Amino acid sequence: MDDELNITYITIGGYVEVDKYRYVYFLIMFTVYILIIGSNIIIVCLIWVHENLHEPMYVFIAALLLNAVLYSTTIYPKMLIDFLSEKQIISYSACLFQFYIFYTLGLSDFLLLSAMAYDRYVSICKPLQYPVIMRKTTISIFLVLSWLLPACQMAVLVIQIADTKLCNFNLKGIFCNNAVYSLHCVRSKFVTIYGVVLLFNVILLPMLFVMFTYVRILILTYQSCKEIRKKAAETCLPHLLVLISITCFSVYDVSIARLESKFTKMARLIMTLQIVLYHPLFNPLIYGLKMKEISKHLKRLFCRAKRL
């Protein structure tokens, strides 16, 4: 506690032998960060530039990839600074801000995937009504709700824990995820109950909705011709893979916090790195390879780059 400035500082204690490997850590994570930013932004720019990609599905994909960029930018710059610093510390207010952005964007991903599932459902099951239902206004509403609902619900949680008394000032992690709760003297019942409500509202309900729409699509396409089945597989499979990926990393994130005492410091570091490494790189890889139109534009872009 800094009495002069009245700022509470938290020590980030999840790193292993930073003094010895600081430049190795920095080089690896800086390279990964550049790859994340580059791969996501390239696809977003392709969607922005090419008019044939100005469809609802691709707009939602662009929003999902922008989330990955913001998600990574919340984590990586601070991490890179920590590698080069003698002391790895963060103010409690900055830690809560990182916690807020990290989970707001993570929860937003589930709602964006729900919007994509609805878009695919209308496109495949109600093709004649698609232009009427999926108008620009509808897309805008989905986008606003996908960001606004998690932001508002997470704000309530962060405001509640902001004034919680701290008994521990050593964070057993490399960034402020739900390991923040281990800093508190007592975890309030409100936070516990509200966390369950949040889990149900913004994760379980969207997941159930996605599964429901894809089951309906599967039933319809099974009864349809080969052309419709192919179209459904090409557009729905990438979304399902991304949903599975996000769900697995969400479970992973919760598990690390709950079972942190069961792992060594090195094991916790490696496990935590999985969350910030794979998820932001997985989305552009899946959409770049599996979405036919995006893949086509990517090939043209790289062919031009080779000629130059």
pLDDT at site 262:
63
Task: Show the domains of the chain with their CATH numbers.
Answer: 9-307 (1.20.1070.10)
d(CA 129, CA 125): 9
Tokens 């980030």, residue located = 12
Q: How sure is the predictor about 35, in pLDDT bands with cuts at 50, 70 and 90?
A: very high
Q: Is the pLDDT of residue 3 over 60?
A: no
E-assigned strand segments in the chain: 9-12, 89-91, 170-171
Per-residue confidence (pLDDT) for residue 265, from 0 to 100: 73
When comparing pLDDT for 271 and 61, which is higher? 61
Q: Is residue 1 classed as helix, strand or coil in its secondary structure?
A: coil
Residues 6+ apart with CB under 8 A from 34: none
Q: How confident is the model at residue 4 (pLDDT cuts 50, 70, 90)?
A: very low
The predicted model gives 246-255 an average pLDDT of: 78
Q: Which pTM was predicted? A: 0.88
Predicted pLDDT of residue 45: 92
Span 284-305, average pLDDT: 79
266 in Cβ contact with 16 (< 8 Å) = yes
pLDDT score recorded for residue 261: 56
Element (H, E) at 41: helix 18-49
* Structure confidence at residue 305 (pLDDT): 65
pLDDT at res. 1:
42
CB atoms within 10 A of CB 194: 16
Higher-confidence residue of 53 and 4: namely 53
DSSP 156-199: HHHHHHHTPPBS--EESSSS-SGGGGGGBSS--HHHHHHHHHHH
Q: Give the model confidence (pLDDT) of 109-163 as tens digits.
A: 999 999 999 998 898 888 888 889 999 999 999 999 999 999 999 999 999 888 8
- For residue 59 the two structure tokens come to 């707009």
At 7 the three-state DSSP class reads strand
